[in-house]
Amino acid sequence: MRQEQFDPRAQVAILLCTFQAEKFLEDQLNSIGRQTHHEWRLFVSDDGSTDATINIIGEFANRFPNRVEIRNGPGAGLPTLNFLSLACDQSLDFDYFAFCDQDDIWLPHKIERAITLLQPYGVGNVAAYGGRTVLVNLDGEPYGHSPLFDKRPSFQNALVQSIAGGNTIVFNRATRNLLASVPDAEPASHDWWVYQLITGAGGRFIYDPLPTVHYRQHDNNIIGANMGWSARLARGRMALNGRFRSWREQNVVALRQAEPFLSAEAKDTLATFLGVDSERCTDRLASVYRSGVYRQTRLGEFSLYAGALLKCI
């Protein structure tokens, strides 16, 4: 791709979804206001908050006139559908789009770095950005990082693993148009869906090892951080309980809807991988191997084959 210098005029839509967000929302909004890239607008989809969420957003909007829009969310109580309701809205005419969680803190260069890495692909070629995060506690104090992955991003990886949280993901106009082409898809998560869909369509996913987000940890998202043995054990229990299998099946339904946009190679990979539904354990293991799917770590690879053997992926 042709290399370009960073364009400070690039227009960015920040897609923030909220629900009962009053506790930490102000920190996130202030971090948006401190961004080194200034050409942004904030679109908030609120899913029925009854606390001070709307008032906090209104105060922020007063500080940044004509740059904040509040909408009613789909009301399904599902963050993924809320985020996709914004991402699939083709009336938003912007160069880039950034998912934004309600309780994190963006580093000042977050948007600028994402656009700098995406810009060589232009806005007309399917591409998205995501990466590592700094893990912080409820008080915003850092204590670690999300895992560092070094294997290449690809559809073979995306089928079995999401490598970047939605709070890091930025994508260009072509990717938004692709997402909008399958507006009824209901994948397991919006971040995983972006990774699967763009790599399946032959696009580019950029994984950034440099963190640009302080990811606040709660009791209900420790597992999502995927750090420490407690998180690994929790994931193991979820696999044995069929949670991963359920997610995989949900993603496959979404990918079937997107089949017209998938490359021939991605279709072959998906068809081969679905041999994990075979009744014979040898066929399940063979389907994983022949499809070329992989996870980013050795432990992840082991769990992939173990899951196929136990029929829980």
Per-residue pLDDT tens digits for 30-77? 999 999 999 999 999 999 999 999 999 999 999 999 999 999 999 888
Return the amino acid letter for 42.
L
The two three-digit tokens of residue 153, written as one number: 């991003």
pLDDT of 1 strictly over 50: no
pTM score > 0.85 for this model? yes
Could you report the per-residue pLDDT of 193-218, keeping only the tens digit for each?
999 999 999 999 999 999 999 999 97
Q: Where are the alpha helices (DSSP H) in 34-182?
A: 53-63, 79-87, 110-118, 155-158, 173-180
Tokens 């990466």 belong to residue: 131
User: pLDDT tens-digit profile of 239-267?
Assistant: 556 688 999 999 999 999 999 999 999 99
pLDDT at 227: 54
- In the 8-state DSSP scheme, what is residue 146? P
State the amino acid at position 266 in one-letter form: A
Mean pLDDT, all residues of the chain? 92
Of 20-24, 107-111, 158-162, 219-223, minimum mean pLDDT range? 219-223
Checking if the pLDDT of 123 tops 70, the result is yes
For the segment 307-311, the average pLDDT, to the nearest whole number, is: 92
Nearest to 215 by CA among 141, 273, 275: 141
Tell me 161's DSSP state.
-
Main-chain phi, psi angles of 95, to 5 degrees: -80, -40
pLDDT score at 218: 78
- Find the angle CA(202)-CA(206)-CA(210) to the nearest 5 degrees: 170
Q: What is the mean pLDDT of residues 88-101?
A: 97
**Residue 44, SS3 per DSSP:** strand
DSSP for residue 295: -
Domains and CATH numbers, the chain: 12-222 (3.90.550.10), 223-310 (no CATH)
